[in-house]
Amino acid sequence: MKTFSRVLDLIIGFGLIGASGITFLYFLINERFEWIPETALELTRDQEILERPKAKKCSECHKDIFEAWKESRHSISWTSKTFIEASENRSKEKCLPCHIPQSVQGEKPEPRIDLRNEGIYCVSCHFIDKKMHGPYDLLAPPHPTFRNPDYVRSSFCGSCHQKTFKEWQATRVEDTCQDCHMPRKKGRLTQKKGLNLLHKKRWVADHRFLHGKITEKDVILEAGWEEKLFNLSLQNKTIPHFVPTADNGDPRLYLYIKFFNDKGEEVDSAKEIIAPQQETALPYNKKINFQYRLFNPVSRAVIELKYQSAWSKEKHQVFSKSLSR
């Protein structure tokens, strides 16, 4: 208590002389927060934060992170139309745990009873034992925090992305899920006036949980002719899990090949579905071969790869290539 009142005196003392008071408070909060006793912090706590509130409550301070999360698939994991259909109107018990988790702690979560429309929200991922767990050792006056190294590990995501996590583990690539799907930028964790100036800039991870983009540099195409055969291979060169990857969704790559004769007429065609649900997804760094027998004279092939996500029927082109004999 003695140290506390001394600290308080210092703050008030410095406060009277303006700018240097703020400088001292900034130093205290960012560099010497262990000097501030728990009893003093009790005065700055906001009890509502610890009552498992909606994400909107967190946005009072963490506005940027909230807005990013709002755009993510995690925020609609319960209200997604395709999920509602696939889970028989959300009646299948076994579909609930990962889509409305109570708390994420490294293994398959338990489903929760309340606030189901929030999907996978801030409290599910951060609130454990009455503290906000996260990657930093820091002081947050409004709520207790706890530095937990799991937050920067792939195993955290593997609580629910179980198949993808196993695929990733087998590649032995060092980049984590967060490195690619939550890239970091320098910024403030809070946007609330006052608080934002008292806390230094840190790395902030992108809470849109970016989908990731495939290009022709990621999936390498090789193709060639051999008498009456057309050989083709696809290789997932850069993405350290299957492409596409899924636990329950049905994302797909479609490979279309059209064969033309020397008059430019289409004489033959083929189609492949590359999808985890059909066990045809592309493993990391392995060439997958396809072969086609040609019955007509062919002088050119057009090869097109398209991607379709788990929740939309729209197909996006990854690449299109024309190959002459």
The residues in 199-218 that bind ligand HEC, with binding defined as CB under 6 A, are 199, 202, 204-205, 207, 209, 211-214
Interface of this chain with ligand HEC, residues 249 to 268, rule: CB under 6 A: 249, 251
Q: Are 209 and 74 in contact (CB under 8 A)?
A: yes
CB of 48 to ligand HEC, least distance (A): 8
- Size of interface with ligand HEC, in residues (CB under 6 A): 97
Contacts of 193 (CB under 8 A, 6+ apart): none
Q: How far apart are CA 155 and CA 123, in angstroms?
A: 18
Would residue 209 be called left, alpha or beta, if left means φ above 0 and alpha means ψ between -120 and 50 degrees? Answer: left
Nearer Cβ to ligand HEC (301/310):
310
Using CB under 6 A, which residues numbered 2 to 41 contact ligand HEC?
A: none
Amino acid at 25: L
Give the residue with the Cβ less far from ligand HEC, 93 or 226.
93
- Please report whether residue 165 would count as binding ligand HEC according to CB under 6 A: yes
Site string for ligand HEC, 44-73 (x = CB under 6 A): --x--x---x-x-xx-xxx--xx--x---x
Shortest distance in whole angstroms from residue 6 CB to ligand HEC = 23
The dihedral formed by the CA atoms of 16, 17, 20 and 21, expressed in degrees to the nearest 10:
0
Question: CA angle 150-206-309, nearest 5°?
Answer: 100
Q: CA 201, CA 187: separation in Å to the nearest integer?
A: 5
In the list 36, 104, 301, 303, the residue contacting ligand HEC (rule: CB under 6 A) is 104
CB of 36 to ligand HEC, least distance (A): 13
For ligand HEC, which stretch binds (CB under 6 A), given 179-187, 222-230, 298-306, 315-323? 179-187
Q: How far is the CB of 67 from ligand HEC (least distance, A)?
A: 8
176 phi, psi to nearest 5 deg: -90, 170
CA distance linking residue 50 with residue 45, whole number of Å: 9
